[in-house]
Chains A and B, each alone.
Chain A
């Protein structure tokens, strides 16, 4: 018989101190690995089941964004900047990394609200729920990566061998997304404004970040880009694949450290406060 004793009392986690919290979180995540996988599978199956083209939807969104930029560039309304690889490859690859953040953040911040009826009836790990939702972006990432490979073949260019590092190099952006996703899902649970504003904000952020255009060299956008961790998290992996090297490794390192810190802090905050969301959702 399992001898797990659970105590529920107000401000429970606070009394234990921050150090034991990490152990608690780790054990919870470890114990719920299978649950996380099942929730991930559920979201994945549910999303594409009642749809004709299914997972191919993941192709369409980047194609439309990239297509728009190509048209804007050709007509001279918008200047993409100087890029020394075929623009579609540059843009689709950038979009693939960007949507790890955008899709993941939107999915995870809505995860608690969507599962609201379940949360108020069953006691299960809410972290698993958020992580599983955030993981959905990996599916579309994989699909878009196939699109990238097709483009490489079309243009007759070979990607760098360092493309094999992709699973590692996307870890920082995933952590950053998950961290924000955890916190935003909690707040979205209490007031729905978060979810509404997020979809608008994400589009705005994408235009602010050089995902579909080259890094600007002057003006306000250049200044913002310099201090925008998302820029490094998107452009460095892209550079790695296209050029086989990293020129802005310092920026990437700082951005990665920021991501890890954001993730840790958000995870702890989520752990401390998740017991309050069920009654307000």
Chain B
């Protein structure tokens, strides 16, 4: 049996304007043209405009789940907004079959002064539910949100968690045929997140088409079957989610920058020479070591050594420690000596990262050494998540 098509995107494009004043002018111009029954020639770019999404085509069948992945600014949110009908395409065509529910910004329609009860009704109405539906599901919604006796309190006195929980509860109870999810699951505590995923799973089982946008490849790989990889407004459709994730991971590997940034390797009193790095491609569990010789004219007592690992995938520091954290006092003696720094058992994977080794004189009063060394962490292509632990399966 051929499954019914829920969403059909045909050569859809969306343009944005970079300048506010021009955007205002174009807005008036387009409205004016449409007012008098003229085409707005939206397929052409005007000055300061660019295609945020360019010629995108894909189909999603009923009951399927699709993950939309891509780096920041790739157009993921714009695509969701097009599917939701908030923005309209400037070229091409999008056909959507059935009621669309969006978890794009939960609680967006909440008014801070109104109580939880009042807001549930209003928000449900905004999301397209009928009065009958809300009356029927009201208890379920409250139960799901778990806000207890805060039901008749203005939502401005809610904790941010409660606010989001209530918003999410309303949104998932409108029983959409198509559910658009945009990273909202990053909120709420773990218990609530699990509840949300269960609910999405339940909707999926009942035939809801789920479109998920996330930077978390683990969530994408567990919840979706098909994937669209967006980059710079262009889209690639993949029949399997693993293919899409592979493409996403490639993006960061491609951006490799193998130049070591040698910001400082000594001063007029101390010189670091003969610096050696044991490896630049690391596998899970490997150790990284930096060895060097130094010749110093003075004693440097109680120096600080920072070791930092910064992952390129996300702007986050993966690891950071000083020798003080290991309760080690280090003194560099006058004369010619050598030293070695080891970072053991690294568990980062499938990403590019930078290892920073920085040495300061006592109380961080000055740099003695600062190198930033790009490295690559490698494992199997299809795995997800930043950390990697090998798992053995034994079934008896």
Q: Is B34 an interface residue (CB 8 A)?
A: yes
Q: Is the CB of A8 within 8 A of B88?
A: yes
Contacts of A122 in B (CB 8 A): 84, 86, 102, 104-105, 108-109, 126-127
Contacts of B94 in A (CB 8 A): 7-9
Interface residues of B in 82-100 (CB under 8 A from A): 82, 84-100
Taking a contact as CB atoms closer than 8 A, the residue among A7, A46, A117, A123 that contacts B114 in the complex is A46
For A5, give the chain B residue with the smallest CB separation. B97
Contacts of B98 in A (CB 8 A): 1-4
Taking a contact as CB atoms closer than 8 A, the residue among A7, A10, A39, A280 that contacts B24 in the complex is A280
Interface residues of A in 19-67 (CB under 8 A from B): 34-35, 38-39, 41-42, 45-46, 49-50
Q: Is the CB of A124 within 8 A of B92?
A: no
Q: Is the CB of B104 within 8 A of A121?
A: yes
Q: Is A12 an interface residue (CB 8 A)?
A: yes
Taking a contact as CB atoms closer than 8 A, the residue among B37, B39, B127 that contacts A124 in the complex is B127
Contacts of B285 in A (CB 8 A): none
Contacts of A124 in B (CB 8 A): 126-128
Q: Is B306 an interface residue (CB 8 A)?
A: no
Bound complex: CA A42 to CA B87 (Å): 25
Q: Is A272 an interface residue (CB 8 A)?
A: yes
Contacts of A83 in B (CB 8 A): none
Taking a contact as CB atoms closer than 8 A, the residue among B30, B38, B100 that contacts A123 in the complex is B100
Contacts of A38 in B (CB 8 A): 121-122, 125-126
Bound complex: CA A45 to CA B110 (Å): 13
Q: Is the CB of A9 within 8 A of B92?
A: yes
Given contacts A9-B92, A11-B40, A42-B118, contact A4 B87 (CB under 8 A): no
**Closest CB-CB distance, B179 to chain A, in whole Å?**
14
Contacts of A4 in B (CB 8 A): 97-99
Interface residues of A in 69-97 (CB under 8 A from B): none
Q: Is the CB of A123 within 8 A of B111?
A: no
For B31, give the chain A residue with the smallest CB separation. A273
Taking a contact as CB atoms closer than 8 A, the residue among A12, A42, A187, A279 that contacts B28 in the complex is A187
**Closest CB-CB distance, A48 to chain B, in whole Å?**
10
Taking a contact as CB atoms closer than 8 A, the residue among A7, A13, A42, A273 that contacts B122 in the complex is A42
Q: Is B319 an interface residue (CB 8 A)?
A: no
Bound complex: CA A124 to CA B89 (Å): 17
Q: Is B395 an interface residue (CB 8 A)?
A: no
Q: Is B331 an interface residue (CB 8 A)?
A: no
Bound complex: CA A35 to CA B23 (Å): 31
Interface size on A, residues (CB 8 A): 46
The interface bits of chain A over 224-257 (1 if a CB of B lies within 8 angstroms of the residue's CB, else 0) are 0000000000000000000000000000000000
Bound complex: CA A278 to CA B97 (Å): 22
Taking a contact as CB atoms closer than 8 A, the residue among A45, A119, A269 that contacts B86 in the complex is A119
Q: Is A118 an interface residue (CB 8 A)?
A: yes
Q: Is the CB of B122 within 8 A of A123?
A: no
**Closest CB-CB distance, A219 to chain B, in whole Å?**
37
For A37, give the chain B residue with the smallest CB separation. B125
Bound complex: CA A41 to CA B114 (Å): 10
Contacts of B27 in A (CB 8 A): 190, 276-277, 279-280
Q: Is the CB of A34 within 8 A of B42?
A: no
Q: Is B301 an interface residue (CB 8 A)?
A: no
User: Which of the listed residues A34, A39, A123, A279 has the most CB atoms from chain B within 10 Å of its own CB?
Assistant: A279
Q: Is the CB of A6 within 8 A of B96?
A: yes
Interface size on B, residues (CB 8 A): 54
Taking a contact as CB atoms closer than 8 A, the residue among B96, B111, B125 that contacts A8 in the complex is B96
Q: Is the CB of B89 within 8 A of A117?
A: no
Bound complex: CA A23 to CA B28 (Å): 26
Bound complex: CA A117 to CA B126 (Å): 13
Taking a contact as CB atoms closer than 8 A, the residue among A10, A45, A49, A121 that contacts B40 in the complex is A10
Q: Is the CB of A190 within 8 A of B31?
A: yes
Given contacts A39-B122, A46-B113, contact A10 B89 (CB under 8 A): yes
The interface bits of chain A over 104-127 (1 if a CB of B lies within 8 angstroms of the residue's CB, else 0) are 000000000000011111111000
Bound complex: CA A1 to CA B209 (Å): 13
Q: Is A14 an interface residue (CB 8 A)?
A: yes
Q: Is A217 an interface residue (CB 8 A)?
A: no
Contacts of B99 in A (CB 8 A): 2, 4
Q: Is the CB of A49 within 8 A of B113?
A: yes
Q: Is A207 an interface residue (CB 8 A)?
A: no
Q: Is B304 an interface residue (CB 8 A)?
A: no
Q: Is B161 an interface residue (CB 8 A)?
A: no
Taking a contact as CB atoms closer than 8 A, the residue among B16, B111, B177 that contacts A1 in the complex is B177
**Closest CB-CB distance, A180 to chain B, in whole Å?**
15
Given contacts A7-B94, A49-B113, A122-B109, contact A272 B35 (CB under 8 A): yes
Bound complex: CA A118 to CA B28 (Å): 21
**Closest CB-CB distance, B259 to chain A, in whole Å?**
40
Given contacts A38-B121, A273-B31, contact A9 B105 (CB under 8 A): no
Taking a contact as CB atoms closer than 8 A, the residue among A3, A11, A46 that contacts B34 in the complex is A11
Bound complex: CA A49 to CA B111 (Å): 11
Q: Is the CB of B177 within 8 A of A42?
A: no
Interface residues of B in 230-276 (CB under 8 A from A): none
Contacts A/B (CB < 8 Å), 26 sampled:
A2-B98, A4-B99, A6-B95, A7-B95, A9-B93, A10-B40, A10-B88, A12-B88, A35-B126, A38-B121, A39-B122, A42-B111, A118-B109, A122-B86, A122-B108, A122-B109, A123-B85, A123-B100, A123-B102, A124-B128, A190-B24, A269-B35, A273-B35, A276-B27, A276-B30, A277-B27
For the complex of A and B, 8 pairs with smallest distance between CB atoms:
A280-B27, A38-B125, A121-B105, A190-B27, A273-B31, A9-B93, A10-B42, A35-B125
Other A-B pairs, 8, CB within 8 Å; known A4-B98, A41-B118, A123-B86: A7-B94, A14-B34, A45-B114, A46-B113, A118-B109, A122-B127, A124-B126, A190-B24
Write the residues of chain B forming the contact surface with A, with a CB cutoff of 8 angstroms. 16, 23-24, 26-28, 30-31, 34-35, 37-40, 42-43, 81-82, 84-100, 102, 104-105, 108-109, 111, 113-114, 118, 121-122, 125-128, 130-131, 154, 177
Write the residues of chain A forming the contact surface with B, with a CB cutoff of 8 angstroms. 1-14, 18, 34-35, 38-39, 41-42, 45-46, 49-50, 117-124, 186-187, 190-191, 269, 272-273, 275-280
